[in-house]
Amino acid sequence: MDLIGLFNYWVFIVLMMSGFYLLLSARNLVKKIIGVNLFQTSVFVFYISTANVTGGAVPIHDEGIEVYSNPLPHVLILTAIVVGVASTALGLSLILRIKAEYGTIEEDEVDAQDVLS
Amino acid sequence: MSQAIDVLSWILLVTGGVASVVAGIGALRMPDLFSRMHAASILDTFAAAAVLSGLLLQAGLSIVAFKLFLVFVFLAFTTSTAAHALAKSALTYGQVPEGVDPKSIGATEEREYVEPASELADPREGPAAKV
Amino acid sequence: MLFGMYSLVSASFFVVVDAADVAMTEAAVGAGVSTILMLSTLAATGYTVRKRPPRRELLAIVVAIAVGGALLYGTLDMPRFGAPNAPLHQHPVAHHYIQVSPKETGIPNMVTPLLASYRGYDTFGEVLVVFTAGIGVLALIGRRPRENGELAPEDGFVDHTATRHRVLRVVAKTLIPPILLYAWYIQAHGDYGPGGGFQAGVVLAAGMMLYLLIFGVDRTEKLVRPRTLECLIALGVLVYGGVGLVNMAQGGNFLDYRTLVHDEKHAIHYGILAVELGVGITVAAVMTTILFTFAGHLRNLLGTAYMANLSRRSNQGAQSA
């Protein structure tokens, strides 16, 4: 079984699970945002690696080139990258507000203050 | 003739690679911030020049060669400036190169950091009124 | 820092697998804007993270490993990396995009008409998402308050940029015009090479950010008024939706560019150019606005004391310019 051809999926799974674990277990809110970003970029790697065709070229039409990489996942991921940075910016501004309101960005301290008030 | 160009570009590329590894090791193992910065800046100038010259020889005289040259110009500009800015802020905060007396170059002695004002609750209220 | 390196490495990976547009976007967005946002958030929330024992979340580890295992099992049936006979490449849509779209639209880059015309609704939604993010950041953090219509006074902060930091000033002034020109080149050249609206908008924002970092928030606000930026955010979305409405007014469907002018091929080309322009305007304005608000918040939060401290210390600090 030609398992080495699955290498790109393993990379994607490792990255995704690292981001997932970081998201679940980090106390500092900025680290959670980093986990979300790690998760998102792993999905980008997955899609783009499935779009690759061995021996294909960049999807820009040129004379004499027959095989191109599939451009459809490229388009989806272009959208996803920009949406990712937009949501990161929103998440970080939420963190700034949380810091201003609660004085801290550690998750358990924010939770404690929420319960008491 | 093309053999000579190939050999020359091989030499340049390998030199660039070796310089990168040396710079990386230096950036990790040097004792001081400034020496580490110097080691890392070998990458931007020497290694980049070597690798890009090797690629230039392969590209011949074409638009690609001009783009490579521009890449090197911008790389040299930006990374050197980044190293400069880093060194400047390090000196402002009182970090001096090893063995240098802080007073002799006018840097402050201790490194203070002022915690951002947390009394400012609403960021739309403006600069902190107190302090 | 590692974050920026990670983005750069993914961008290089994208280049290696022939995804040029995506690599450009990832490099501009990840290694540029995202890193600066992270750094300013960290600066605004305090550098010092108290050393606490790392918490071992057993449940999270178990869940992560379980999900990872399930995904691993699921990928055993997936097509091998680069296989030309994968179902993804056999679908007739892929064939249409690769073979027919250069002839149908006259645009060599296959990604641009795909983005702006074949999947124009998705791109419209995305422009709206970027617009919403810009509004959200403005609503959450807002701009610096004005007194009597003037910018808030800068007590205790002496702007040293004019006298010190000569190297930084000169380099910034040398680099910013090529950066802005390059942004416009990417915008205009998106048909023939990697490029398009998003990359152009982000590179333009990066140029403004360079100016912001070196010269400070006040001078940048004199250069580009935030009120103008807010209008530009809306203008880009309006251009995009406006093209769609013009199409409807001329009897076609929403965003069906063929009704713009008489020649179908040219009409599609014009439609794509117009919507890419709208996308570029909105993305540039939103990114710049986000950076402005973060920088302004940082300035407000750090307050007078920090700035006075910094001025005093850079007065007695290193003397070289």
Averaged pLDDT, C89-95: 81
Averaged pLDDT, C247-260: 83
Taking CB atoms and an 8 Å cutoff, what residues of chain A touch B121? 100-101
Inter-chain contact A96–C80, Cβ cutoff 8 Å? no
Calculate how close chain A gets to B118, using CA atoms only, in Å: 7
Calculate how close chain B gets to C27, using CA atoms only, in Å: 15
Residue C314 has pLDDT above 70, yes or no: no
Q: In this structure, what DSSP letter does residue C37 have?
A: H
pLDDT band at C304 (very low <50, low <70, confident <90, very high): very low
pLDDT tens digit string along A30-86? 888 999 999 999 999 888 888 888 877 788 877 777 788 888 888 899 999 989 999
In a 10 Å sphere around its CB, with 0-12 CB exposed, 13-18 middle and 19+ buried, how is residue B51 labelled? Answer: buried
Contacts of C252 (CB under 8 A, 6+ apart): C258, C259
Q: What is the pLDDT of residue B81?
A: 86
Closest CA to C140 of C298, C294, C295, C29: C294
CB pairs under 8 A between A and C: 231
Our CA dihedral for C306, C311, C314, C319, rounded to 10 degrees, sits at 170
Calculate how close chain A gets to C124, using CA atoms only, in Å: 10
Q: What is the pLDDT of residue C190?
A: 84
Closest CA to A46 of C19, C129, C197, C28: C19
Averaged pLDDT, C134-140: 90
Q: What is the pLDDT of residue A115?
A: 74
Q: What is the pLDDT of residue B109?
A: 47
Q: What is the pLDDT of residue C162?
A: 59
Q: What is the pLDDT of residue C97?
A: 82
User: What φ, ψ does residue B31 adopt, rounded to 5°?
Assistant: -80, -25
ipTM surpassing 0.95: no
Is residue C80 within 8 A of residue A6, CB to CB? The reply is yes
pLDDT band at C177 (very low <50, low <70, confident <90, very high): very high
Inter-chain contact C306–B127, Cβ cutoff 8 Å? no
Q: What is the pLDDT of residue C147?
A: 45
Average pLDDT along chain C: 80
Residue C159 has pLDDT above 80, yes or no: no
Q: What is the pLDDT of residue C50?
A: 62
Query: Is the alpha carbon torsion for C213, C218, C223, C229 positive or negative?
Result: positive
Taking CB atoms and an 8 Å cutoff, what residues of chain B touch C168? 81, 84-85
Q: Which residue has the higher pLDDT, A60 or C139?
A: C139
Is A111 at the interface with chain B, CB within 8 A?
A: no
| Least confident span in B49-63, C152-166, C242-256 | C152-166
Closest CA to C83 of B51, A55, B10: A55
Taking CB atoms and an 8 Å cutoff, what residues of chain B touch C306? 114, 116-117
Closest CA to C208 of C171, C177, C164: C177
pLDDT band at C163 (very low <50, low <70, confident <90, very high): low
Is B120 at the interface with chain A, CB within 8 A?
A: yes
Instruction: Find chains touching chain C: ≥3 CB pairs under 8 Å.
Output: A, B
Our CA dihedral for C234, C236, C238, C244, rounded to 10 degrees, sits at -160
Calculate how close chain C gets to B102, using CA atoms only, in Å: 10
Is B99 at the interface with chain C, CB within 8 A?
A: no
pLDDT tens digit string along C16-72? 888 888 888 888 888 788 888 888 888 777 655 566 666 677 888 888 889 888 888
Evaluate if pTM is beyond 0.90.
no
User: Which residue has tokens 């912001």?
Assistant: C212
Q: What is the pLDDT of residue A116?
A: 66
Taking CB atoms and an 8 Å cutoff, what residues of chain B touch A103? 118
pLDDT band at C11 (very low <50, low <70, confident <90, very high): confident
